[in-house]
Amino acid sequence: DAKTTQPTSMDCAEGRAANLPCNHSTISGNEYVYWYRQIHSQGPQYIIHGLKNNETNEMASLIITEDRKSSTLILPHATLRDTAVYYCIVSLAGNYQLIWGAGTKLIIKP
């Protein structure tokens, strides 16, 4: 599986859009980009995933560049409850092995 690179930490003001970048320059054509988050003292929570096209659900939007070497997770209106560690994972479809890096610690400030 391709390796990902994420910033260690980020801040965002409450109510603003939080944009979390992820680099995955060695991604292969059939690997998906997954995003999970882990709120303090809870289990990781699935957010969204995509292959090539941009994706949106009730939690977030995922923007994948055309060359697929990077992506951005967008939380459109961040709230204090969005403070968490966000993990960007690249994995083959159907691959149960998710390689969890250190993620990005996102702090939403009032």
Q: Does 102 bind another protein (CB under 8 A)?
A: yes
Selected binder of another protein within 22, 91, 104, 106 (CB under 8 A)? 91
Is the CB of 13 or the CB of 98 nearer to another protein? 98
Q: What is the DSSP letter of 5?
A: B
Provide the 10 A C-beta neighbour count for residue 66: 6
Torsion of CA 66, 68, 73, 74, to 10 degrees: 0
Q: For residue 51, how far is the Cα from the chain centroid?
A: 13
Rounded to the nearest whole angstrom, what is the least distance from the CB of residue 75 to another protein in the complex? 19
List the interface residues with another protein, window 34-73 (CB under 8 A). Answer: 34, 41-46, 49
Asked if 73 and 48 count as a contact pair (C-beta separation under 8 A), the reply is yes
Residues that bind another protein (CB under 8 A): 32, 34, 41-46, 49, 91, 93-98, 100-102
